[in-house]
Structure 1
């Protein structure tokens, strides 16, 4: 059915909190059908069979029949409050053997018949339309009943006699519309706690009160709204009640004093007043404080309608009470008088008022006070708070939280040596507060202040065991040296990004550090903090789920325990050593490679060739024709040891007598005064071809290597093909040095001319060679090579 919300609960629904403490329902998983506030006219017929909790409150149901619940055999809790039921046959629940909680309050019930099942423990029939309690016969078999709520317009002894057999823990008796009450009726009830809702009518509730204080040990009175009340204190003297709570009280000051006087002489030990309004004028009233059993009085939410009165009359009334504990909260109290004589107060609590620093100044009659609470007031100077406690020589617990306390350096602070618990949270204190604090304190709460650091030079707090600095402005863990016996420290919700190693070291003996919800900076500096806490995670109660990176943005939300960064990234010395080793290895490797490939020689040759080419380019830059002009058909490169072959065979066979072929030969064509390298480059540049006479002698010549290198470089830069290799004698590859690797490559991929030993083949050799170098040369003069 639409509207049914079926789910598994570990806790019962909220309305069950009204049940008595003696009622124990199963705490295992329950199934709840919540149909409250659904405008239902009848109970739905298709509820899940496993339903154990059914909430039907605040609907329009007027009739219940057996079929409504007969199939819900597991039903334990049923809330039918705030409906329109006018009569009830209690036998409709006869099949619901597990039902223990039944709420039928706030209906229109006037008639009940039948009998309830005997397993019910909580039954509420209050705020209905019963004229009397004559229907009590339906309850007599409820031997397990612990809570019973009833209401009627008439209360008589005869109607309540059947309740004597029940051992009830709590009885709620709603008498808002009471028209008749027989004296002594309430005393018939056998219950530990009585909740009595007094009549709304303007009547004197004296008879009811007299019976109520003798009917239960715990009494709760609601709706005491009377202009006049006749109270005979003597009738309260031998009462049974020990604990009284009055809720929604509206009385005159005179009646309040009379009522308290009656309770003062009774058996009452605990007295609490909630939502009290004092009507009319307030005048001084006599009050006898002697011979009372009351130990504790509480006032909560007090309103005075007439502000034209002497406040001393009210403050004297409470300050002179000879009780152990006094609480006044939400009463807008502006001041509190010092008792006129030594008081037995051990606990004073005045939270949520308007008290100032002037309270209890120079008060010496609170020597027995052990606990003082002034939270949520208007205290401003911590030094005045300390002077207030000077004469409280038994004070152990002081709570001045949620004020506007400040401390200025230089102000004197005087505390009793007995203070062990001090709550200064939610104030405006800075790090200077430690100058003012008592050194005897064991538990110190400074959370939600303005402390940004704690110097190790402050006084020693040897007794301090628990320090709360949460929600301050700390940027680092505090130095723990002033707190030698610290056991627990809370620095959660501060501005700590990277706890420093010094602070971690100083706090090594602290057993528990709460540092969660800080904006941790995940970098090298936080590694030690993470490492230490991984080793001893018991020190951080909420580790690891509440410790996350806030910076940098890329790591935001990462658990600190999952943050990793290498040692190399954080250890600068190690990084420098590693870089030095890498550079050294690369340098050594490069040196060895250069040595093996003879790179220095090549670099030297490139430099020389570049310099010579630059000079040649500058010399010829003014020529109009930039096209290459050759002066020789060929340049011959050979070893000096092969010069005889060149002069006897090569030159005669190429040049001939007709001069048609011009050969550049160093002995006759190199220009005196120029460097050898420049001459070599000029000859190569001005020759159509370059002929290299290869032999074992060639590869042993340094100058032959230069000539081959420059010629090959020309081939590469000008994309030409002007190298001619003549193999005069075979050259074993193992004899070719490493720097002649290009020669090896040339011989491997180029066709070279091999000098034939047979004379018959030599004619063809010269013909091929002449054909390879034949070209028409332009007319030139000696300047062509100068």
Structure 2
């Protein structure tokens, strides 16, 4: 392989092929994990100037809060990028119908597209990148890409295209990169690529092209083509004289059934005459067992210009020293990847003193001699990853004062001895991921005062301490501790916060701790990380997150707790209260059952919120007001319900400030019995706006008033209520009681126990001598029966009732009940059945307090017990006459007699 030196390259318009790879084809292995991270090239300056002007005008949708697309997701970072991946689309219209015309990048890969109709993307005139890989495209209609004059990159790999007809790429005048890999392409029309005047990269890898001739005719009109990849086809060694090579920088023919010698013989004279001076020597895939000193194989001029040596995918086992070999002064890059190197001996690279990049990764390197890298004072990057190194000796990197990147990933290093990194004062990136480190000693990182990125992921670290990071505390910006064995079982830390002195750290990765995750985040665990901008805590099966966990992270912009559903359930109130700068919050699959507004209290700058795969059934409507900057919301696979608690969502989702991922796919039950399922964005919310409160008030107010009134009535009118209850019972007994023709007693005597002496000593003997039958409490009531039932029976089984009235009688509730029941019989039967006997004179002031008794006394005459003995015979005669008299006659006589001499106390006061 000969690759040109850019410094000595002639005019591109006249230079022939500058790289020709003619080695046997093997499937390319993916780079090992932990390779040096590279950044994507930023958009062209013209595009960067154009997008800020066009996107606000064309992407803006009038409205208020939320929007979404049926089959695509708009990138929250780049509003012009749309991904419509794995949506089972069979037609392009299903994806582009609702996209804004300002879209600049569209990914339709991994779908089921079978054909591209004419003008399939005409409504997206600003599209610059189009990915149609991994579909089922079997044909491209002429004019399929009409209207895509700005398209620069087109990917049609992994489809079923067997031929390319003329007109298939019409309208793609600005296309610079075209991929047709892994298609059963066997026929290429001569004019198929004619419209692609600006094409620079063309990949036809893994097809079925049988010969170079048709390819030569097809690419001849492409004056700017630089890379042509024809690997893995069926190309034979037929001459390709008509293939213009002068504009190509690289031609790849690996993996074809070519005979290299016949191919070289087929080249016409002068085809490679204009090749530039040698800049790269590529000896890959030649089954070399020994490399030797390359400088001896080159002439003086070639040694002075050689900059890169590549000997990958060989069988090299040893690296021998080359002290006596001519020095390769301009050799900067050496790559010996994918070999079988076991040992690197002393001064193995002495013939390349100005080496800047050395790659020994993916070998079997078990021992690195202390002096193996001696003399490489200008080395900037050293790759030793994916080997078998177990020990790092003191002084192994002493001469590498200019080293910026050291990659030791996926080795077997278990201990970092003090002084292992001596001399690496300018090292910026140290990758120790995938080793067997269990403990990080305080002096392990000694000498790395300028370290900015430290990768310790996939080790077996069980704890980290502030002392271990003390040597790098002034410069460290990225710390990767994922997939270790860190675990905490108590919220109270066992030692001081491990990151408290890392004032410059801006990226911290702690996800996927083994075997069960962090479990619990201790209090003040992140204390001191005042500059942290990204924090990764996903896949940790968190049980509890304290409310003060993130209090010190005021500058945090990205936080992920995804896939940590260890029973957390709910986030504590105020857990994000200090994250006023947070832009992205990933809470996917953390087991959340509810999200109250107190959780998102101060996230005023949050732009992206991911809540997919949680147990959320409702969303609080106050979230919209508390997240004013929200632009991207993911609620996929959340069991949101079409309930009144979510009645605000349809109106909010119908506006256009926030992109809700797959807005129209959120169903919420229904669909039974042949009915269509209900969708969250359109369910009927009218029932939720009925005045349910009015109905509830009307139904509950009487019950509440009754419950309030019962205690008051019990306190103020207990006896009155009880009295009316007894009246009711008496009325019922009298209503359904058969009329009695014969009475058991002539009179029922109602008296108070305080007057029992007079009743038993005076009244009873006098009346019973006159052959009157009396009913008395203590003598005639049936034992065991209710007192009320005894009183009612006594009143209704007696012809009349005698009430012996005194002050004690008036104060007695039972006496009051007896006289009231007797008066009720009086009013009900309209017969003289009540006789009142006053034992003492009662003034009006005292009598007025017993208003219930006054009602009876106002309507009846009465007899008064005379204090003078001479008047008592008359009293007894009147009483007996009243008890024996007929009803109507007795009433008149009683009134007259009462007026003559028995009413000495006067009528009861009104």
Q: TM-score, normalised by structure 1?
A: 0.57
Counterpart position of 2:166: 93
Is contact 1:471-1:492 (8 Å) kept?
A: yes
Alignment partner of 2:327 out of 263, 277, 290 = 290
Is contact 2:379-2:403 (8 Å) kept?
A: yes
Is contact 1:444-1:464 (8 Å) kept?
A: yes
Is contact 1:549-1:558 (8 Å) kept?
A: yes
Is contact 1:32-1:51 (8 Å) kept?
A: no
Is contact 1:641-1:697 (8 Å) kept?
A: no
Counterpart position of 2:826: none
For the residue of structure 1 that corresponds to 2:585, the secondary structure is: coil
- Counterpart CA distance in 2 for 1:81 and 1:518 is 36
Alignment partner of 1:118 out of 189, 194, 206 = 194
Is contact 1:447-1:468 (8 Å) kept?
A: yes
Counterpart position of 1:424: 456
Counterpart position of 2:771: 658
For the residue of structure 2 that corresponds to 1:180, the secondary structure is: helix
Counterpart position of 2:439: 407
Structure 1 or 2: more helix by fraction: 1
Question: Any stretches of 5+ residues in structure 1 without a counterpart?
Answer: 13-24, 37-45, 60-67, 190-210, 217-237, 566-585, 603-630, 671-677, 714-723, 770-786
Provide the aligned C-alpha RMSD in A: 6.6
Q: CA deviation at 1:400?
A: 0.6
- Counterpart CA distance in 1 for 2:381 and 2:339 is 20
Is contact 1:298-1:326 (8 Å) kept?
A: yes
- Counterpart CA distance in 2 for 1:325 and 1:276 is 19
Structure showing greater radius of gyration is 1
Counterpart position of 2:385: 351
The structure whose RCO (Cα within 8 Å, separation 6+) is larger is 2
Q: CA deviation at 1:377?
A: 0.9
Residues 254-333 of structure 1 mapped to structure 2, 5 A cutoff: 254=291, 257=294, 265=303, 267-278=305-316, 288=325, 290-303=327-340, 311-313=343-345, 316-317=348-349, 322-333=354-365
Deviations 1:523-552 (A, max 9, x none): 78712226x27xx57526125656652799
Alignment partner of 2:144 out of 62, 66, 74 = 74
For the residue of structure 2 that corresponds to 1:542, the secondary structure is: strand
The structure-2 alpha-carbon separation of the partners of 1:708 and 1:27, relative to structure 1 and needing over 3 Å to count, comes to same
Is contact 1:112-1:135 (8 Å) kept?
A: yes
Is 1:180–2:262 an aligned residue pair?
Answer: yes
Counterpart position of 2:812: 704
Q: CA deviation at 1:466?
A: 3.0
Structure 1 or 2: more strand by fraction: 1
Is contact 1:145-1:168 (8 Å) kept?
A: yes
Alignment partner of 1:452 out of 479, 487, 492 = 487
- Counterpart CA distance in 2 for 1:82 and 1:662 is 120
Residues 48-197 of structure 1 mapped to structure 2, 5 A cutoff: 72-74=142-144, 93=166, 97-98=170-171, 118-120=194-196, 121=199, 122=202, 124=204, 130=211, 136=216, 140-143=220-223, 145=225, 147-148=227-228, 153=237, 159=241, 163=244, 167-168=247-248, 170-173=250-253, 176-180=258-262
Residues 180-259 of structure 1 mapped to structure 2, 5 A cutoff: 180=262, 215=275, 238-239=277-278, 241=279, 247-254=284-291, 257=294
- Counterpart CA distance in 1 for 2:161 and 2:787 is 124
Q: CA deviation at 1:424?
A: 1.3
Q: CA deviation at 1:255?
A: 6.8
Deviations 1:557-587 (A, max 9, x none): 345994899xxxxxxxxxxxxxxxxxxxx99
Counterpart position of 2:526: 480
Q: CA deviation at 1:186?
A: 9.0
User: What number of residue pairs does the alignment pair up?
Assistant: 594
- Counterpart CA distance in 2 for 1:709 and 1:363 is 114
- Counterpart CA distance in 1 for 2:171 and 2:527 is 62
Q: CA deviation at 1:163?
A: 1.7
Question: Any stretches of 5+ residues in structure 2 without a counterpart?
Answer: 1-87, 97-102, 122-129, 147-153, 596-611, 623-705, 723-743, 822-831, 838-843, 863-877, 892-910
- Counterpart CA distance in 1 for 2:454 and 2:184 is 51
Q: TM-score, normalised by structure 2?
A: 0.50
- Counterpart CA distance in 2 for 1:317 and 1:525 is 57
For the residue of structure 2 that corresponds to 1:316, the secondary structure is: coil
Is contact 1:264-1:294 (8 Å) kept?
A: no
Deviations 1:194-246 (A, max 9, x none): xxxxxxxxxxxxxxxxx59x737xxxxxxxxxxxxxxxxxxxxx43x4x5666
Q: CA deviation at 1:378?
A: 0.5
The structure-2 alpha-carbon separation of the partners of 1:488 and 1:635, relative to structure 1 and needing over 3 Å to count, comes to farther
The structure-2 alpha-carbon separation of the partners of 1:336 and 1:764, relative to structure 1 and needing over 3 Å to count, comes to farther
Is contact 1:544-1:559 (8 Å) kept?
A: no
Is contact 1:33-1:54 (8 Å) kept?
A: no
Counterpart position of 2:26: none
- Counterpart CA distance in 1 for 2:284 and 2:95 is 28
The structure-2 alpha-carbon separation of the partners of 1:256 and 1:163, relative to structure 1 and needing over 3 Å to count, comes to farther
Is contact 1:515-1:540 (8 Å) kept?
A: no
- Counterpart CA distance in 2 for 1:70 and 1:637 is 117
